[in-house]
A = this chain, B = another copy of it.
Amino acid sequence: MVNVWVNGQPSSSLSPLDRGLSYGDGLFETIRINEQGPTLFDLHMTRLETSSGKLGLHVDHKQIRAEIISFLATQLSVSSVLKITITRGVGGRGYNPQGCEGSTRILSLFPFPDYPKNAQPVGVALYECSTRLGLSRALAGMKHLNRLEQVLGRAEWQTSEFAEGLMFDINGQIIEGTMSNLFIVEGDTLVTPDLTLSGVAGVCRQYILDQAKSSGIKTQIRSLSRNELLLASEVFVCNSVFGVWPVISFAQQCWQVGNLTRTVQLWLNKVLET
């Protein structure tokens, strides 16, 4: 059972003319809720606000924060996932956003996903998706509602052998998982793909980069090839719901779970679980 609020009120109904549906004209965030409340909340809200500005959405961010607090106060405080969707609201036919001064705000609370139990301690196998991610400077980085490539990527495997799939861009560079970002360890450096032209700049990825900086661990954001991944000493994927999953296999390569991966995993568990 999913609880949903639309524009500050419990609702199970949205206009079929909403631009979120017509064009994917909007954004979303998925936030892990634990007994203390939303986690990594400021990073999520900052990304939402920054991306709203880029898309020119008319959003009152104070109002959204207030609605989230009211919404969560009505829910039982169990481990769950809050999804925030913001669209440009109802519009006519046609791409022109002029005249769309409002927004649609959807809050929905989902049970915590049924992730594989061994994913955190033991690690996961990565599937190699053949669906390629497009390149688009205007849209890269944002968690917008245009997510067909992720749907097609995720549809490629259904066996439980793989907990996540790795996606490449149309030039064959590694971008991210279908629902996560990727890091590798090279020497003593954390490396994660550059997302200037493709991918979602995850809140968890940002938190890891920030923590590494304040811990004196070197980081690099750059383009990353399949071969560099295969030669890495450690590999992990991350998102703001599950935290960090060590990657123990991809294609013919296998890895042990490394020390830096465990360190980063602890950073995230500290904020996500307590």
Contact = CB atoms under 8 A, between A and B. Distances in A.
A155 B97 contact: yes
Interface residues of A, number: 64
A52 interface: no
Contact of A149 (B97, B136, B149): B136
A153 B170 CA distance: 23
A180 to B, nearest CB: 11
Interface stretch (A12-20, A36-44, A186-194): A12-20
A88 to B, nearest CB: 8
A110 B92 contact: yes
Contacts of A212: none
Given A110-B93, A147-B24, A148-B23, A136 B170 contact: yes
B13 A145 contact: no
Contact of A16 (B14, B137, B151): B14
Interface in A1-45: 2, 4, 6, 11-25, 28, 30
A175 B236 CA distance: 38
A13 B144 CA distance: 23
A15 to B, nearest CB: 7
A16 B105 CA distance: 10
23 contacts: A6-B16, A12-B15, A17-B108, A21-B145, A22-B28, A22-B145, A24-B145, A55-B151, A56-B155, A94-B113, A94-B154, A94-B179, A95-B150, A95-B153, A97-B151, A97-B155, A98-B158, A131-B138, A134-B139, A135-B170, A136-B136, A137-B170, A138-B149
The 9 closest A-B pairs by CB, nearest first: A134-B136, A24-B24, A146-B146, A23-B147, A13-B13, A95-B154, A134-B134, A95-B150, A21-B21
